[in-house]
Structure 1
Amino acid sequence: MTDHRTDGAWDLIVTPWHLDEHIPAFPIPVAAAQAVRPALPAGPVPTRMSLLHRAALDAVTQAARPLVLSGDCPTSRAVVAGLQRRHRELAVLWLDAHGDFNTPAISTSDYIGGMALAMLTGRTPDLFDDTLDLRPVPDTSVVLADARDLDPAERDALTVSHVRRVSADPAAITSALDQLGPIPVYLHLDIDVIDGAQLPGARFPSGTGPSLAQIEECLTAACANADITAAYLACAWLPEHADDRTSRQTITRLTAALGANLEWREPDGN
Structure 2
Amino acid sequence: MTLTLVPYHQDERLPDSSFPLPGPSFITVTRELPEGDVWERLAALFELVSAEVTDQVVGGTRPSVVSGDCLVSEAVLAGVQRAGVDASIVWFDAHGDIHSMESSTSGYLGGMPLRQIIGDDSELLADRLGLRPLTQERAVLVDARDLDPAEAEFLAASRVRRCTVDDVVLPDGPLVLHVDVDVIDKGDLPGLKYPVGNGPSYEAVLASVRRVLATGRVAALDVACPWHPPEGDDDVIRTRLLRDLLTA
With normalisation by structure 1, the TM-score equals 0.84
Contact 1:74–1:116 (8 Å) recurs in 2:
yes
Indicate the RMSD between aligned Cα atoms, in angstroms: 1.8
CA contact (8 A) 2:7 2:30 kept: yes
Is 1:195 the counterpart of 2:185? The answer is: yes
Aligned residue in 1 for 2:39 = 46
Match of 2:4 among 5, 13, 28: 13
How many Å separate the matches in 1 of 2:228 and 2:6? 15
2:104 corresponds to 1:107: yes
Contact kept, 8 Å, 1:143 with 1:164, in 2: the verdict is yes
CA distance in 2, matches of 1:129, 1:88: 17
1:244 aligns with 2:235: yes
Q: CA deviation at 1:129?
A: 7.9
Alpha-carbon distance in structure 1 between the residues aligned to 2:154 and 2:216: 27
- Whether the aligned pair in 1 keeps the contact of 2:18 and 2:230 (CA below 8 Å) is no
Structure 2 distance, partners of 1:164, 1:129, is 21
Structure 1 residue 256 displacement after superposition = 2.7
Distance in 1 between the 2:247 and 2:39 partners?
Answer: 33
Aligned residues: 240
Kindly state the Cα deviation for residue 88 of structure 1 after the two structures are TM-superposed: 5.1
Structure 1 CA distance for aligned equivalents of residues 85 and 165 of structure 2: 28
- Corresponding letter in the other structure for 1:101: I
Please tell me whether residue 222 in structure 1 is matched to residue 212 in structure 2: yes
Q: Does the aligned pair in 1 maintain the 2:65–2:222 contact within 8 Å? A: yes
- Amino acid in the other structure paired with 1:69: V
Tell me which amino acid in the other structure corresponds to 1:68. Answer: V
Q: Which aligned runs of 4 or more in structure 1 are off by greater than 4 angstroms?
A: none
1:145 to 134, 142, 148: 142
Task: Report if aligned partners of 1:185, 1:226 keep a CA contact under 8 Å in 2.
Answer: no
User: Does 2:89 match 1:92?
Assistant: yes
Matches within 5 A, 1:108-147: 108-128=105-125, 130-147=127-144
Once the two structures are TM-superposed, the CA of residue 226 in structure 1 deviates from its matched residue by 4.9
Matches within 5 A, 1:172-183: 172-173=167-168, 176-177=169-170, 180-181=171-172, 183=173
Gaps of 5+ in 2: none
Q: CA deviation at 1:240?
A: 4.5
Report what 1:30 is aligned to.
24
Normalising by structure 2, we get a TM-score of 0.91
Corresponding position of 1:4: none
Q: Describe the superposition over 1:117-170 as per-residue Cα deviations: whole angstroms up to 9, x where unpaired.
A: 11111112232383311000111111111000000001111111110000111x
> Which stretches in structure 1 are left out of the alignment for 5+ residues?
1-9, 258-270
In 1, are the aligned partners of 2:5 and 2:28 still within 8 Å (CA)? yes
